[in-house]
Amino acid sequence: MLIKRSKVIDDSGFEIELDSYNRVVSLAPSNTEILFSLGADKKLMGVSEFCNWPMEVNERVINGELKVIGGFVNPDFEAIDKLKPDLILGTLGVQRKAIENLRSKGFKVACFYPKSLQDIFQSIESIGFLLDKEREAKELIKFILKRFDEVSKITKRAEIKHFYYELANYKESLVTWGKEHWSKELANLANLKGIYDDYPSQFVKFKPEEILSKEVDFIIARKKYSKIEEIVSREGWSKLKAVKDHRIYLVDCFTNYSIAYRPSPRILHGLKVLVNIMHKELKDELSSIDLRVNYVADCEAY
């Protein structure tokens, strides 16, 4: 992604000219969260059904200020057309086909698909640039970077912790992140290392028994889809240090999105949770760092 004078070149290579955009539709929750954090939410006309944070999004949908324009993968083109957007903010991956269809129908779409923390900052900067919130974007990025630095200075003195973060469980195979996922960098900031951090991919699918050759101090999974009893009962997993030491943690959906699914300012919340789980010995030192950001609070949102 690049910003060149009066245009943004997005993550699909598409050029979006700088203009006065006041009717925006967001297809991705992360983009919606960035809009709110920048104070550009008044320009928002429509959101996907998965855009559910901050809670004000839900309130505006209920009172009719915001229209839901379909799902993440299958947006409703007719509903979008009725809103007459001058700019649509989307992503790539599974949404790529929908983006191509929207562009073929004449809609202007900017796509942001971060794979690194730097990519997330570029997304924030680009959205700020397009929506006349450049100053707010720069201030937000500066705030996040300062907090990253503060956390890193403390955690780098601690012993490195190795952990497995379960993104998906298909019984015969499991999924976590790899080297090319921004969550890897987020964890590394706090002196934490995922079991497949060196694997050259965004996501890594592996067999449950393969983890037995790994060093695993902690296991983190999603409360909605996992049970500690099931994790402990997996064949051979009783040998893992995390299981022996009873260091298995289940996180709520809000926290899970902050850690691994939504590349938005909420990553600060994700970092805070990772640190609190795996660096409890640093709790007092870390408590002085303000890891809050607009519209982000400690709660189980849904």
200 falls within a domain? yes
Number of domains comprising the chain: 2
Pairing assessment for the beta strands 174-177 and 168-169 based on DSSP bridges: antiparallel
Domain end residue (candidates: 83, 106, 132): 132
Edge-to-edge strands, sheet with 44-47: 67-68, 44-47, 24-26, 87-90, 109-111
Residue numbers of the domain that contains 13: 2-132
196 falls within a domain? yes
Q: Output 298 or 105, whichever has higher pLDDT.
A: 105
* CATH number for the domain that contains residue 271: 3.40.50.1980
Digit-coded pLDDT (tens) for 271-295: 999 999 999 999 889 888 888 765 5
Cα separations in angstroms, 179 against 38, 187, 192, 221: 29, 11, 13, 19
**What is the Cα–Cα distance from 267 to 52, expressed in whole angstroms?**
16
**Above 90 in pLDDT, residue 97?**
yes
Are the C-beta atoms of 260 and 270 separated by less than 8 Å?
yes
Are the C-beta atoms of 175 and 195 separated by less than 8 Å?
no
Percentage of the chain beyond pLDDT 70 is 96
Mean pLDDT of 65-69: 97
